[in-house]
Structure 1
Amino acid sequence: MKINGNEIRPGNVVEHNGGLWVAVKCNAVKPGKGGAFNQVELKNLIDGTKLNERFRSSETVEKVRLEQKDFQFLYEQDNALVFMDTESYEQLELQKEFVGDRAAFLQDGMTVTVELHEERPIGISLPDQVVLEISEADPVVKGQTAASSYKPAVLENGVRILVPPFIAAGERVLVDTNEIAYLRRAD
């Protein structure tokens, strides 16, 4: 779908210079002399590079719609993660680097959302929170106040986080997968 350059908004995905870009920031500029334009900061969806571009209202760009599909995590094989489409039961293999650091939070049967463009995976989003068990936690140091002191701990998946002093090894906690941070004890 074609849109004018002045209609680009943050979050829009556009096709530009042969690549897929997401608009991060947009700033409408009306100089004293000459026509108005939209100063847009773009981020490449494939390699993450950034680009600042000016779009005049007379220019048109192709706005891209990304398809979002639910996939279920099945297993890890070598350096690849295998997912299954929850509707068609087709399998999708993604490299571990594609998922990034958050791959450690994948659990068997977990449902994730994959963004696709022309059947090609562009992005992946995991649930915002997961429940994990603390495998190691440092002992509490006497005299520390509970107000601001957190201690290091290791989750069952090997990820290190900071937890309050009352959390011990063997306890289950809720972890934010975006910030990789302790939220609270799990029920």
Structure 2
Amino acid sequence: MKINGNQITPGNVITHQGGLWVAVKTMAVKPGKGGAFNQVELKNLIDGRKLNERFRADETVEKVRLEQKDYQFLYAEGDNLVFMDTESYEQITISQDFLGDRVAFLQDGMMVTVESHEETPIGVKLPDYVTLEITEADPVVKGQTAASSYKPAKLENGLRVLVPPFIATGERIVVDTNEVTYVRRAD
């Protein structure tokens, strides 16, 4: 679908210079001289390169529609992750590089959303929150106030987060997968 350069908004995926790019930031600029343009910060969906481009209102770009489908995480196989379509039972293999550090949040049977373009997976979206157990937590230091002090804790997946002083080893907590932060105690 073709759109004008001034219609690009953050989150739009476009084809540009022979690649797939997502608009990270956009800013409409109206200089004193010359025509208005849209200053767009782009990020390549395949290799992660960043690019700043100017798009004039009379330029057109191809907006790409990504297919989103839910898959269930099955297992890791070397540097690859295996997911299954719960409707057709078809399995796909995706490199761990697509998830980066967030691969630590994957749990057996977890449902994820895989974004693909022309049958090629280009991204994996994890649930926003996961429940994990604390395997190590520092003891509470007397005299600390609960309002401002947090202590480091190690999760079952090896990641470290800061938690309130009342959280102890063995407790289950909810963690934000985007920010890698403590949210609350698990029910």
Fold conserved (TM > 0.5)?
yes
- 1:108 is paired with a residue whose SS is coil
Please tell me whether residue 95 in structure 1 is matched to residue 95 in structure 2.
yes
What does residue 169 of structure 2 align with?
Answer: 169
What does residue 128 of structure 2 align with?
Answer: 128
Q: Which runs of 5+ in 1 are unaligned?
A: none
**TM-fit CA distance, 1:16:** 0.5
TM-score (norm 1): 0.94
Please tell me whether residue 151 in structure 1 is matched to residue 151 in structure 2.
yes
Q: What amino acid does structure 2 have at the position aligned with 1:116?
A: S
Partners of 1:35 and 1:178 lie apart in 2 by 39
Partners of 1:28 and 1:182 lie apart in 2 by 37
- 1:102 is paired with a residue whose SS is helix
**TM-fit CA distance, 1:100:** 1.1
What does residue 45 of structure 1 align with?
Answer: 45
What does residue 179 of structure 1 align with?
Answer: 179
Q: CA RMSD in A?
A: 1.3
List per-residue Cα deviations over 1:61-107 (Å, max 9, x = no partner).
11100000101000111121111112221111112221111111111
What does residue 108 of structure 1 align with?
Answer: 108
**TM-fit CA distance, 1:35:** 2.6
**Residue correspondences, number:** 187
List per-residue Cα deviations over 1:19-70 (Å, max 9, x = no partner).
1111122222333333332222211111221111112222211110000010
Partners of 1:89 and 1:167 lie apart in 2 by 40
Q: What amino acid does structure 2 have at the position aligned with 1:173?
A: I
Please tell me whether residue 82 in structure 1 is matched to residue 82 in structure 2.
yes
- After superposition, where does 1:11-22 map in structure 2 within 5 Å? 11-22=11-22
